[in-house]
Structure 1
Amino acid sequence: MSRFDLVKEYLIDMGMAVVSEDPENELVVVENEDEGIKNLIVDCEAPIVIVEQLILKLRAGTPEKYKRLLQMNRTLVHGAFVLDETGEMLLYRDTLQLENLDSNELEGSVKALSLALSEYGSELLGFASA
């Protein structure tokens, strides 16, 4: 079994629904809306796995907003809130080692996203409208 297939199996075992996949590029998009996971991209780019989900489009950024995002990052168990290249899109992103990846580690990353969304969801939504 390829590492990509193993990662996909881990995700399915976690209750994630596969929305789409690109086996040639070893990329899968999954969701579990009950957990706040929507269009989570899992990309097996040896030697790492990239876990990334778009959170929202930011409205005008202020130093206070970016400072608060950094403060939120400090409390995340895995991953971080990051900006895309334009600085307009807020994403959750985590990278894990592919070679030794086990289901617990991948689940920890996904659960960290779910926890962050439940803890900071209202505040993050305010960033979209402020």
Structure 2
Amino acid sequence: MRTKEDVEQYLIDLDTDYEVVDEGLYRLIDDVQDVEDIFVHVTGPLVIFSVRLMKVPTHNIEAFYRKLLELNATALVAGAYGIDGNDVMITDTLQLENLDYNEFLASIESLAMAINEHYPMLKKMTAQ
């Protein structure tokens, strides 16, 4: 069974700077494929990866939400876009119990790839 200490070792193995934000919560400081501030949260039996992308737009909001739902359905292999308060997020969740380094890395790379591909389009939709 994997533990928080295994996740900490995976973070070390990434060879990127990170900080401990709180117990079981880490923030990757260095860019990972041009994405900053990837959070890794070990909570119970889960490891949650998340990135705050932008503020929720104040105009064209229905089209924006529709696009997020379409991306969830068609463009994301794992993970999902969502809303947390006034922030647009992308998250992925894995089971801690049997998590290996390759799965850990794949989740981070998957989020980074989705952000690099989708962010410019989403940002353009928020421009006035």
TM-score by length of 2: 0.85
* 3-state SS, counterpart of residue 47 of structure 2: strand
1:4 maps to 4
1:116 maps to 114
Q: What does residue range 17-32 of structure 1 map to in structure 2 within 5 Å?
A: 17-18=17-18, 20-22=19-21, 25-32=23-30
- CA distance in structure 1 between the aligned counterparts of 2:21 and 2:58, rounded to whole angstroms: 34
2:52 maps to 54
2:63 maps to 64
Identity %: 29
- CA distance in structure 2 between the aligned counterparts of 1:122 and 1:11, rounded to whole angstroms: 28
Give runs of ≥4 in structure 1 deviating > 2 Å: 127-130
2:103 maps to 105
Provide, for residues 23-55 of structure 1, a one-character-per-residue CA deviation record: whole Å limited to 9, x for no partner. 6x2111113425133111111111111111111
Counterpart of 1:70 in structure 2: which amino acid? L
Structure 2 gap segments, 5+ residues each: none
Aligned counterpart for 1:44 among listed residues 42, 45, 49: 42
- Relative to structure 1, the CA distance from residue 45 to residue 13 in structure 2 (aligned partners, 3 Å threshold; closer, same or farther) is same
* 8 Å CA contact retained: 1:31, 1:37: no
* 8 Å CA contact retained: 1:31, 1:38: yes
TM-score by length of 1: 0.84
- CA distance in structure 2 between the aligned counterparts of 1:112 and 1:103, rounded to whole angstroms: 14
* 8 Å CA contact retained: 1:58, 1:127: no
Counterpart of 2:12 in structure 1: which amino acid? I
- Relative to structure 1, the CA distance from residue 78 to residue 16 in structure 2 (aligned partners, 3 Å threshold; closer, same or farther) is farther
Task: Give the deviation of 1:97 after TM superposition.
Answer: 0.5
* 8 Å CA contact retained: 1:36, 1:117: no
Task: Give the deviation of 1:118 after TM superposition.
Answer: 1.8
Structure (1 or 2) with the greater helix fraction:
1
